[in-house]
Chains A and B, each alone.
Chain A
Amino acid sequence: MSETALQPPSKTPTPRSNWKNWIGVVPFFLFAIMFIFLPSVRLFIGSFTNEEGHFTLDNVRQLFTQQYIINSYLLSIRISATTALGGGIFGFLLAYSVTVGGLPKSLRSALITFSGVASNFAGVPLAFAFVATLGRTGFVTTILKDVFGLNIYDAGFNLYSFLGLSLTYMYFQFPLMVLVMAPALDGLKREWREAAENLGANSIQYWLRVALPILLPSILGAMILLFGNAFGAYATAYALTGGRLPIITIQIGAQVRGDVLHNPNLGNAMAMGMVVIMAISLAGYSWLQGKTERWLR
Chain B
Amino acid sequence: MNISVRLRKFPFWSWLWFILGVLYFVLPLFATLEFSLGMQRDVLSLKAYQKAFADPKFWQTFGYSVFLAVMTIIVSIILIVPTAYWIRLRLPEARRIVEFITLLPFVIPAIILVFGLIRVYSTPFHIPFTNIYLGQPLTNFKFGTNILIIGGYMVLGLPYMYRSVDTGMRTVDVRTLTEAAQSLGANWFVVIARVILPNIRTALLSGSLLTFAIVVGEVVLASFLGVQAFGPYLFLLGQHRAYEPAALTFTTFLMTWAAMGIIQLVTGGQGQTAGAH
Residues of A whose CB lies within 8 Å of any CB of B are 21-22, 24-25, 27-28, 31-32, 34-36, 38-40, 42-43, 46, 90, 93-94, 96-98, 101-103, 107, 109, 111-130, 132-133, 138-140, 170-172, 174-176, 178-179, 228-236, 239, 249, 252-253, 255-257, 267-268, 271, 274-275, 278-279, 282
Q: With A24-B82, A25-B98, A39-B120 as given contacts, are A94 and B18 in contact (CB-CB < 8 Å)?
A: yes
What 8 pairs between A and B have smallest CB-CB spacing?
A: A39-B116, A232-B109, A139-B31, A101-B14, A97-B14, A102-B11, A116-B273, A24-B86
For B256, give its contact among A96, A121, A232 (CB under 8 Å). Answer: A121
Q: Is B66 an interface residue (CB 8 A)?
A: no
A sample of 6 cross-chain residue pairs with beta-carbon separation below 8 angstroms, ordered by A number, consists of A32-B104, A90-B20, A107-B18, A139-B27, A252-B112, A256-B115
Q: Which of A21, A43, A90 contacts B91 (CB 8 A)?
A: A21
B contact residues around A271 at 8 Å (CB)? 111-112, 115-116
Report A-chain residues with C-beta under 8 Å of the C-beta of B218: 123
Bound CA span A279–B111, Å:
15
Please tell me the number of chain B residues within 8 Å of chain A, measured between CB atoms. Answer: 84
* Contact across chains for A43 and B116 when beta carbons are under 8 A apart: yes
Q: Does B80 reach chain A (CB closer than 8 Å)? A: yes
Q: Are A25 and B256 in contact (CB under 8 A)?
A: no
Is B54 among interface residues, defined by CB-CB distance under 8 A?
A: no
The interface residues of chain A lying within 8 Å CB-to-CB of B29 are 129
Q: Which residues of B contact A239 (CB under 8 A)?
A: 219, 235, 238
Quick one: which of B116, B210, B273 contacts A40, CB cutoff 8 A?
A: B116
Q: How far is the CA of A171 from the CA of B109 in the complex (A)?
A: 19
Which residues of the partner chain B approach A228 to less than 8 Å between Cβ atoms? Answer: 106-107
Chain B residues within CB distance 8 Å of chain A: 8, 11, 13-15, 17-18, 20-21, 24-25, 27-32, 34-35, 79-80, 82-83, 86-87, 90-91, 94, 98, 101, 103-120, 151-152, 154-155, 210, 213-214, 217-220, 224, 231, 234-235, 238, 245-246, 248-249, 252-253, 256-257, 259-261, 263-264, 269, 271, 273-277
